[in-house]
Structure 1
């Protein structure tokens, strides 16, 4: 019995983030992450591919490459290599911040040159992001609870329009968009998730999102909302070839646009790592942020070679971690493996795509709301009654919600400003940092917000 004690002590010393779960649980939990992020991965290549005038066959290649590179990026983040990868349950996917600039590049490029120009810009931006990671890693001194709590709340709030769009059907031009049938499917899915969390426990409660999605999809079959017919027209196996759309081309305008996208993505990834560290009870220090941002840069550069796009954090999966309390990074690594397989086996990706958008919308309300609630919990430590902190939160959330409430607000601004400020997360984050510096880091208030999150990052951040 005594000989068992060291093993028990060693097992109990393993942080939940580093816990290796049994294979069946890894697969089930990993599939939940896929369901939460799949639409976000395939949407950018669909939009950009359409802007580039790609055929249906070429769109399939672009989507497969997006899934493959997102899986590789997720594996790099969760498992890590050397000083690359946050080693947190951190899902990486395609950055939506890059969609508008890439569409703009496609509109001005000569036929057949749009994607090579885009990939040239992404390649340069990825390398630049990798090199700049240590400097961003030192920025966690600017994220005390009043800032990190605000940003985490905004991450959740900024995703609600996505959930609302899904719940209505996903396609605003469809005849049944916003119909009671679509919203009813979303309601059924949300109700199943809520009931499972109320009355079940253990493993079944942890996969409540997956069960809810399955229940919603089954409910959609008799309504004709789950289309399995598309599976017959998708290839079973396909390997994305490097430079499928041509070798990268380097143009100053495209490079500058993608460098701005990389800065926005790194800002959002920094905020997401801080949020995830709070949720899994393993605060992200400077070294962790540096390693995570290096992974973003490396994955983005690799994606440019494999026909993918800029890699960044997926906030919806942070909500899944918070809701299920499954904190193992190996679960997310399993989702990375699944993404790679989906990229290599398009028919499997099409099977995941059978889940109707309204069903995803019902699950999204629970996931995204959980992220916002986690931010509110962090704000309870921010001493809002002191040093104008309440005003910091109020104005920052105002700037963060502004692009959601008035999407055309910045239409008269230069494109660079639009790229940064039309992302509610990056806009709110930058305003929160600036106001915190004004109210808490100048003059007599300089040390008022002293906390572990606000301490200077020492040498480890430089990696």
Structure 2
């Protein structure tokens, strides 16, 4: 019996499946390649904003890889009270970039130590308030999680577009046909491997397409590996290399807002990946994940890194490959730790052309959005406000994507929260769901013109138990001989469904109530 069937027979959670060393290494590397560009972008941006030398920026990147790897191991493998034990890759969060740049430019001249101090203080506060966030799962029905998952995918599309165009908007070849063509070829390779390959090849289609795309780029002179040998082969992380952290009240307050956004986004990612791999995520498990997130953010500045959060693009990789094992992602965490200790390996991965990442990213991020749409298909839109809640939340989440400067003239704390389409959509979906589906006082029977205009449909299972000649009269169901057929209530449906499917044609039948006379012929 193979590992997969052994796990299935044991009835374990899908995320506890262990695919073996070879598969863990291959799929784990695929996760690293998927998020590598994102995890190095933040230290690159902040290092340039702080006017650091190239070697010091390299130390920031190594620290971010090392801290991200440790955070991933904590999140996937877990410790008591820490780690959701789900396939989530952790890394430096983009949500705090603008705030940290503002701290770097503050008049007190705190520099990198002020940023690190603000991250540590805010993460400690976030760790203390996680019990509040861990009890909000009841406010994340499929409507809310579907909106968030869809928004995650759509929010990442501009990233894929920039990657496909070359990544560096200041480069002379940014947006050239060569870059976009290389991205297109990578995309075609992903599709061909998914269609023509075996199950194993299909699952590795992203990784294989990146390898083939990179080899093609080398042949065309679009990839440069000449600098891989430059720099040290081994570099142990230095503790507080940039100096002891300093603590400034204004910096801490502004970073607390970032931490709140991070908690919302991490909650959404945990619930999203739970929905994708079809496993239970309760308040305790969500709390463990959030505590791991905050503990990682608290400890990361010791190595010279910043706030840690789950990477949404890797949620997409889980969806597109169907590989649910947390041990695969834990192996990716080991890769990240190794990359943090061996800069030469990081330089090899960094040499992968950004356009290749763009071609693969189009599939990855689109899969996230498609997963969200699949979740939204489970929502009941009949005679309620759910349709307009979904529409408003998605539209609100798209604002910062369609118009990045939309909140430019708003207060900085407001812009920090809502500049992220993910947090914008999540907050709006939660608020509207509470307003219309929990605080129902004053709700109308016909709450929306969208509902009134929707097509009238019946589910097949609602009419499958009817026999020829059955008819409704005054809200009651009768058979062709005039005998009344008992109609089960809504709450009895689930418990009786299996029995009803096996019952004889004349047995009690579940159907929908109706007061208008009608006949089945």
Aligned position for 1:82: 80
User: Over residues 19-45 of structure 1, what are the superposed CA-to-partner deviations in whole Å (9 max), with x where a residue is unaligned?
Assistant: 112111100000000011001100000
Structure 1 equivalent of residue 500 of structure 2:
none
State how far apart, in whole Å, the 2-side matches of 1:221 and 1:369 are: 27
Deviations 1:340-381 (A, max 9, x none): 000000010010111110100000000000000000011011
Give the drift of 1:16. 2.4
Check whether the contact 1:129–1:296 (CA below 8 A) recurs between aligned residues: no
1:148-187 alignment runs, 5 A limit: 148-187=145-184
Question: If each structure's helix is expressed as a fraction of its own residues, which one has the higher value?
Answer: 1
How far did 1:236 drift?
0.6
SS of 2:338's equivalent in the other structure is helix
Runs of 4+ more than 2 Å apart: 7-12, 443-446
CA distance in 2, matches of 1:385, 1:221: 55
Which stretch shows the higher mean deviation, 291-300 or 252-261?
Answer: 252-261
Q: CA deviation at 1:434?
A: 0.8
Q: Which residue of 2 aligns with 1:318?
A: 315
What is the SS of the residue equivalent to 2:135? helix
- 1:285-324 superposed matches below 5 A: 285-324=282-321
1:42 aligns with 2:40: yes
SS at match of 1:215: helix
Counterpart in the other structure of 1:55: 53
Superposed displacement of residue 445, structure 1: 8.6
Instruction: Give 5+ residue unaligned stretches, structure 2.
Output: 446-489, 492-521
> Given that residues 126 and 294 in structure 2 are in contact (C-alpha distance below 8 angstroms), is that contact kept between their aligned partners in structure 1?
yes
Aligned to 1:94: 92
Cα 1:236–1:288, aligned 2, differ >3 Å: closer, same or farther?
same
| 2:392 is the alignment partner of 1:395 | yes
Q: Specify the alignment match of 1:384 in structure 2.
A: 381
Shift of residue 397, structure 1, vs aligned partner: 0.8
Partner of 1:456: none
Match of 1:107 in 2: 105
Task: Quote the residue 1:350 is aligned against.
Answer: 347
- Aligned-residue offset at 1:258: 1.2
- The answer on whether the counterparts of 1:322 and 1:371 sit within 8 Å (CA) in structure 2 is yes
Distance in 2, matches of 1:147 and 1:375, equals 10
- After TM superposition, the structure 1 = structure 2 runs for residues 124-163 of structure 1, keeping only pairs within 5 Å, are 124-163=121-160
**Residue 236 (structure 1) aligned with residue 233 (structure 2):** yes
What is the match of residue 421 of structure 1?
A: 418
Query: Could you tell me how far 1:240 is from its partner in structure 2?
Result: 1.4
Residue of 191, 197, 200 corresponding to 1:200: 197
Aligned to 1:28: 26
The structure with higher relative contact order (CA 8 Å, sep 6+) is 1
Deviation at 1:109, TM superposition (A): 4.9
1:408 aligned residue: 405
Q: Counterparts of 1:229-268 in structure 2 under 5 Å?
A: 229-268=226-265
Task: Provide the rounded CA distance (Å) in 1 between the counterparts of 2:183 and 2:10.
Answer: 40
Shift of 1:110: 5.1
Specify the structure having the higher radius of gyration (Cα). 2
1:95–1:310: 8 Å Cα contact kept in structure 2?
yes
Alignment correspondent of 2:465 = none
Q: What is the aligned-residue RMSD (CA, Å)?
A: 1.9
Is the counterpart of residue 209 in structure 1 residue 206 in structure 2?
yes
8 Å CA contact retained: 2:7, 2:17: no
Q: Secondary structure at the match of 1:238?
A: coil
Contact 2:103–2:251 (CA under 8 A) maintained in structure 1: yes
Moved more, 164-173 or 201-210: 201-210
Once residues 8 and 138 of structure 2 are traced to their aligned partners in structure 1, the CA distance between those partners, rounded to angstroms, is: 33
Structure 2 CA distance for aligned equivalents of residues 208 and 9 of structure 1: 24
Measure how far apart 1:283 and its partner are: 2.9
Query: Does structure 2 conserve the Cα–Cα contact (< 8 Å) formed by 1:439 and 1:445?
Result: no
Q: Distance in 2 between matches of 1:49 and 1:385?
A: 52
Distance 1:28 1:358, change over 3 A: same
Does structure 1 conserve the Cα–Cα contact (< 8 Å) formed by 2:269 and 2:310? yes
Unaligned runs of 5+ in 1: 452-463
Compute the displacement of 1:8 (Å): 5.2
- Residues 8, 224 of structure 1: CA spacing in aligned structure 2 closer, same or farther, 3 A cutoff? closer
Q: How many Å separate the matches in 1 of 2:289 and 2:19? A: 23
Residue by residue over 1:391-418, the C-alpha shift from the partner in whole angstroms, topping out at 9 and shown as x without a partner, is 1111111111110110001000111111
Contact 1:166 1:360 in 2 (8 A): yes
